[in-house]
Chains A and B, each alone.
Chain A
Amino acid sequence: MKSLVASIRLVIVTMLICVAGYTALILGFAQIVTPDTAEGSLIKDKDGKIVGSHLIAQSFTSAVYFWPRPSAVGYNAAGAGGSNKSPTSSDIADRVRTNTIPQYGATAEKPLPADLAAASGGGLDPHITERAAMYQAERVAKARGIPLSQVEALVKNQAFSPGGALTPDRLVNVLELNLALDRK
């Protein structure tokens, strides 16, 4: 009985401090210090309409844009998920053979960078490797009718190392790259 009374008191106290107080503290800090990222790093166009988030991949299929990594959930940012297929699964081989390879026109002479064939963990990975962007540069340049060198320069300009010296592979953010292309 004493335990039950103490339990009830502690449910109330921990709720007030660890849920209400703690959440309010972090929320207040975030909304004041980093309001943009706190709301989801949203990107707005000049009319103030939301076009996406820096952190979230979106679908691109047009030849004039760079394409992101495959998504097992169709870039559904309200229901993220991976393929959950074993890397030994023939389902992955079938998926790549029927969708990815024809999509990019990959050949044995010009093999596709692996990140463009492997589905990301949450299906919303906003990045591709710099190699994967360079792989697509020719298609984008042709579709836009602009010199290849210009597109490649843009990719180089956008590429970054996410962990500095700890990560030698350079990445580009697909949505930011495509926005930069549109601004050209």
Chain B
Amino acid sequence: MNAILFVALIVGGTALLSWPLGRYMKWAMDPTPTPGSLAGKFDRLFHFFGGRFTGESQNWKQYIVSMLIFNVLMFAVSFGFMALQQHLPLNPDGQKAIEGSLIFNTAASFTSNTNLQHYSGESAMSYLSQLCALMWLQFVSAATGIAALAAMARGLAGKKQMGNFFLDLQRATFLILLPIAIIVALLMVLGGMPMTLAGAAHATTLEGIEQVIARGPVAAFLAIKQLGTNGGGFFGPNCTQPFENPTFWTNILATVSIILIPMACVWMFGRIVGRMRHATVVFAVMLVFLLGKITGAVWFEQAPTQAFTNLPIEQNVGNLEGKELRFGTSAGPLWAVLTTSTSNGSVNAMHDSLNPMTGLMPMIGMWLNATFGGVGVGMINMFIYIVLAVFVAGMMVGRTPELFGRRIEAFEVKLAVIALFAHSFFILGGTAIFAATPWGQNTLNNTGAHGFSEMLYEFSSASANNGSGFEGLGDNTVPWNVATGIVMLLARFIPIILPLAIAGSLAAKKPTAQSTGTLGVEDGTFGVMLIATIVFIGALTFFPVAALGPIAEHLQFMR
């Protein structure tokens, strides 16, 4: 009963909040230009920041080129800060040089909005690296996603000129992410989170032991990490570390921050395209998947820790291994689902220690990767499924497959299939290679089916640009760093570029008038069709590995 109330309050409350935020985001990203308006003044400021070029409108190809150039620079700058951290200031705890493949992996990880971490923040990164490399990327990589979504939506609204990347990037950064991050960070400070540039504190415990207590500018880092579906922790174990999540209430705020902007992105998309009924159907479909996964996770996590069977330990509570008490019983599985439905990847309980079937729910989230998804890119991923659903539905009933008055043809479907195929190829191919070689086998923390799950989860996380992990995996090795680094970059940019190309191709077509032969995308029937498309594609692709990992473990051990 308590669990239902807790989930309903957080998910329902955030869904309500997302509505006005989506409205605001439309205003911020795609303002209707009127002379002397506030949006016009901001645009003038952004032209001043970015130079005259930000005033030029770009077609989809130019937009992508600008995005890629900026992202290459993001990678390079963050790489530089991390590679030189031992020579730079703001390093009170004397963090040393970082190994090359780990720098590559981390720069790829934060540039791609993944935040997979093969290091522990408190023992590897100086404050300067945390702020200028990682936190900076948490702003601009999230802004890249929102910009890409705005551009795609404009294309689907029929515009061949999709806006200007540098203008969109600034709108997303300064008008959306920064103001909300300030609010959340200030609330986190009031909630008791550390915010200091002083180095670690040295304590002598009541029993006379020396305890070094790492700290830092946590509140600022945490806010944008949660809001931008970044998820990279300031500390190694992320939001299970009490400094990164001190109380029940900071946990609620952090949980809401995970899904707030991804939810609002759906509304922003609907408003820019001018199809709010379609957006409502998509929102409802995403909500169905979200609630399904939450129900599964909360349910399976109520089973007590299986290893305690036949030991003199009370069996009356759910699995507590890897969990923190202050968040309450349902907070772990709820967060686990939200953080993987969106591509956030922060954790408030160790996913490696979730019950087997609970651990499957985050994996499903990353495999589908479109249940609200990453800021901006989640809706872009869902668009790929929408294209396929329209096409398949059109084939089934013998109607012309059309989306927003433009025909879906072989070119669009090919691109959509390539984008989907890439995702499953990275996950299944990567897992297969590492499961068959010492690259993966020698890095496991658990044996049997759960060991397989550790590798499967790692590649799922990298390809979904998620960043959470079954953290027992000893993943700071050259093969893991290089392989997941490459996967993260490809899995970031392929599913942005291809949908933008689809939108560009659709925008170039002549609109056809809506007729009785047109398949509607704004009603419940289409919603059901979309759900079926996602379920079939997901199940056909990933059921075999699910059976080898979590399902096998469940059947073997759970009674």
Contact = CB atoms under 8 A, between A and B. Distances in A.
Contacts of A121: 237, 240, 322-324, 347-350
B307 interface: yes
Contact of B185 (A26, A51, A107, A169): A26
A107 B223 CA distance: 45
A179 B203 CA distance: 15
A60 B77 CA distance: 45
A29 B178 contact: no
Question: How big is chain B's contact interface, by range?
Answer: 35 or more
B308 to A, nearest CB: 6
B136 A15 contact: yes
B237 A7 contact: no
A97 interface: yes
B70 A7 contact: yes
Contacts of A171: 325-326
A128 interface: yes
Interface string A29-69: 11101100111111000000111110110111110010001
A57 B350 CA distance: 18
Contacts of A15: 132, 136
B249 interface: yes
17 contacts: A3-B66, A7-B73, A26-B186, A29-B195, A59-B209, A62-B207, A65-B206, A78-B93, A80-B237, A84-B470, A88-B556, A106-B312, A119-B322, A121-B348, A125-B326, A162-B325, A169-B328
A76 B350 CA distance: 17
A56 B243 contact: yes
B172 to A, nearest CB: 11
Given A40-B201, A77-B214, A121-B350, A19 B131 contact: yes
A106 B313 contact: yes
B235 interface: yes
A178 to B, nearest CB: 6
A120 B323 contact: yes
Interface of B: 2, 5-6, 49-51, 53-54, 65-66, 69-70, 73-74, 77, 93, 120, 122-123, 131-132, 135-136, 139-140, 166, 169-170, 173-174, 177-178, 181-182, 185-186, 189-190, 192-198, 200-207, 209, 211-215, 217, 219-220, 223-224, 235-237, 240-243, 246-249, 252, 304-308, 311-317, 319-329, 347-350, 352-356, 445-447, 450, 470-472, 553, 556-558
Given A7-B70, A37-B193, A86-B352, A92 B51 contact: no
Given A88-B306, A88-B356, A49 B204 contact: yes
B147 to A, nearest CB: 11
A87 B353 CA distance: 6
Nearest to A179: B206
A147 B317 CA distance: 30
Contacts of B214: 77-79
A25 B319 CA distance: 40
A84 B189 contact: no
A2 interface: yes
A3 B69 contact: yes
A136 B224 CA distance: 41
A82 B325 contact: no
Interface in A79-124: 79-93, 96-97, 101, 106-108, 110-115, 117-124
Contact of B322 (A83, A107, A126): A83
Given A7-B70, A83-B350, A112-B312, 6 more contacts: A6-B166, A29-B195, A52-B206, A55-B246, A80-B241, A119-B321
Contacts of B212: 76-78
A38 to B, nearest CB: 5
Among B5, B212, B236, the most chain A Cβ lie within 10 Å of the Cβ of: B236
A53 B213 contact: yes
Nearest to A171: B325
Given A84-B352, A168-B2, A125 B325 contact: yes
B308 A14 contact: no
A23 B220 contact: yes
B320 A118 contact: yes
